[in-house]
Chains A and B, each alone.
Chain A
Amino acid sequence: MSGPENFEDEFGKEWREAFDDYTQTPPNAVWENIDKKLTYQKMVYYKRSARIFQYLSAAILLLAGFLGIYTYSFSQNSQSRINDFTAEINHPIPLESMKFGVENSFSNLLSFIDESDSECKSDYVDNVQLNHFANNQDNNLSFGSSGVQLIALSNERQSMLEMVDIEALEGLSSIAPNLNVIVASNIENHEVWKLADYSYLSEEKKVSDKKKVWAGFDAGASSFNPNYQSAGNTTLNNSLSSSSFQFSGARTDAVESQSPQIEESMSVGNTVSLGLNFGLNLSEKWSISSGFRYNLSEATNSTNVIVRSTKVQEAIPASQEFNNVSQVNNAVSASTVLEYDFQDVELSNEFQFASLPVKAGYMIYNKKLSIELNAGIAANFYLGNKLSSSDNQFADVSIGPGHQSAYKEISFSGLAGIQLGYLFLEKFEVIIQPNYQQSINSLTKEAAEFDASPSGFGVSTGLRYRFN
């Protein structure tokens, strides 16, 4: 704004002075409308923010739940094995009866407590070596880097702990360190006996028989961030078809001014999906899977110019997506345009895709509970999109794949996720999977005046059946 240089125009100066400092209170309805819109904008913002936190919270809760179930299940199973095989301290079992098909010189499995971490460990010990060290009254034992090892010795009258340096025990080998062993002992003779518990092997064998081929279905929800980028402010002339209606040139009452500038954007929304899937365990750790998914994604388009014509009752928002849409071209032609208004419009943009994912998975943990990391690629087939408004004054426009649409018929995206599974009834498995998806290439054709490479975080749940 210039200021005083216009003062030489006395006429203008008189008018300026006449309006200077004049105030007039607007009607109450103006503030009421502003207040309503501000409240609505806040609600939309918090609703969108809440969705992300909902997904994160759901994923964290599910992960915590699975870890809790896993921890409880493991501790229960360990205890049950110990309870089933506890030896009676008052009646020690002779060594000879406890040989379970292992090497003669390594027939004793010693269970001891590592004081450094209170963990119960097991090792095979030669009979001679065991007696030698159990009877050793030398208090100057040196302890190896594996820490202090304690042997529990007890009878009906008393119990005591003797410390043993595990590294000092020659010939020890950890053949099956995960075996649970119940120890009986004779405190007077400093002898210990043990009973090897192999019951866990049947559990592992059971798990390794997990069925290799599976099929199932799942449903999921995720955020949909279109990562929209416009080529820049485009003129209405460029965006609303080059041949159907060049309103500046075709009209006889040509105006001197340029076409209005369109400002368009697309904001974050969400996706819901349904899928059928199948997979194959290639080994104990690796698997491969594929399937078919249907995705319905919604985002919000904003634009600032609307077009009114005699052929369509509702106004048509000017959008870069309408470059080649015949539905729009037919309704709006140079001879029937009434006016172009600058008005901020928000449209719901609903996309439909069919996708074929292929993923590889790596099992971190594979028992009744399973945890798998997976990653892969999906081919996404564009089925169409629809722009609509909740306000009846704007026309809906549906666009399908083909030359009319700004979107490619096939695009690709990268997938990554953490899959948590629980096996029940031997053949059924329920799956929960937080995941992330990122487009590898743009959804839009090269000729389009905007770019969209969607990404999103989400969670899916499903059910699988394992075949022989």
Chain B
Amino acid sequence: MVFSDEELIKGCVKGAAKYHQALYEKYSPKMYPIALRYSKMQQEAEDILQEAFLKVFQNIDNFRQDSSLPYWIKRIVINTALNHQRSKLYLFPMVDVTDLKNNTTKEITLSSLSYNELLDLIKKLPSGCQVIFNLYAIEGYKHHEIGTMLEISEGTSKSQYARAKSLLRGWVEENNKINYERAGEF
């Protein structure tokens, strides 16, 4: 049975188990890929998703409906992922990166890569770059907002994003080149 968001919220506030499960089944397929993008391993992504949904159920009576339910859940998933990553960010210092190869003039295409290949590329990024790339490029946060969230400077956020971009471009080009060569073999 499919419930509307209002029904799900009312049912979860009352603590009814079937509404908890219905809400999870409705939104976990959208949230799981987000958790995967912020983690290095699948187990870590599953932990993030589990913890995020527990927070959703514990705090759903505080949901003020000034935003949509899926947006609110997504924010919780992202914040949970950041909490998981935050400690590791201290061990991998994020500083301004100046020695970047500038490949911005060359156009690249992602259409030849599958979702899983793109996900693998993001996971290959250093932790700090991975988080900032997700927040800036995919979630759409501004650099000063990222600086506040991660307690780093805006300049660090920009330079880490530039580094992520440089690395990803290089890997995508390499991947495309390999694909072209393989196509040529056939």
Contacts and interface: CB of A to CB of B under 8 A. Distances in A.
A36 B68 CA distance: 27
Contacts of B93: 253-256
A6 B32 contact: no
Contacts of B88: 339
B145 to A, nearest CB: 7
A12 B90 contact: no
A5 B142 CA distance: 8
Given A257-B90, A257-B152, A339-B87, A24 B32 contact: yes
B153 A25 contact: no
A118 interface: no
Contact of A25 (B32, B87, B136, B169): B32
Contacts of B28: 25-26, 30-31
Interface residues of B, number: 57
Contacts of A11: 104, 108, 137, 165, 168-169
A18 B32 contact: no
A15 B138 contact: yes
A12 B136 CA distance: 8
A257 B151 contact: yes
Contact of B115 (A22, A37, A339, A344): A22
A33 interface: yes
Interface string A3-27: 1111001011011101100111111
Interface stretch (B2-10, B48-56, B174-182): B48-56
B61 interface: no
Interface string B134-156: 00111111100100001111001
Interface string A245-258: 00100000111111
B37 A16 contact: no
B36 A258 contact: no
A341 B48 CA distance: 13
Contacts of B29: 23-26
Nearest to A15: B137
B87 A340 contact: yes
The interface centre, meaning the residue of B33, B118, B138, B169 with most chain A CB atoms within 10 A of its CB, is B138
Nearest to B84: A342
A396 B156 CA distance: 39
Contact of B30 (A18, A23, A253, A340): A23
29 contacts: A2-B145, A6-B137, A11-B108, A12-B138, A12-B165, A14-B108, A14-B110, A15-B138, A16-B137, A18-B113, A19-B33, A22-B33, A24-B33, A26-B28, A26-B32, A30-B28, A30-B46, A31-B21, A31-B24, A31-B25, A33-B50, A34-B24, A37-B54, A38-B17, A253-B93, A254-B93, A260-B86, A260-B87, A344-B51
Interface of A: 1-6, 9, 11-12, 14-16, 18-19, 22-27, 29-31, 33-35, 37-38, 41-42, 247, 253-258, 260, 339-342, 344
**Closest 5 interchain pairs by CB?**
A12-B137, A23-B29, A342-B83, A26-B32, A255-B93
Given A19-B37, A35-B20, 10 more contacts: A1-B75, A1-B145, A2-B145, A6-B137, A38-B20, A255-B94, A257-B94, A257-B150, A257-B151, A344-B51
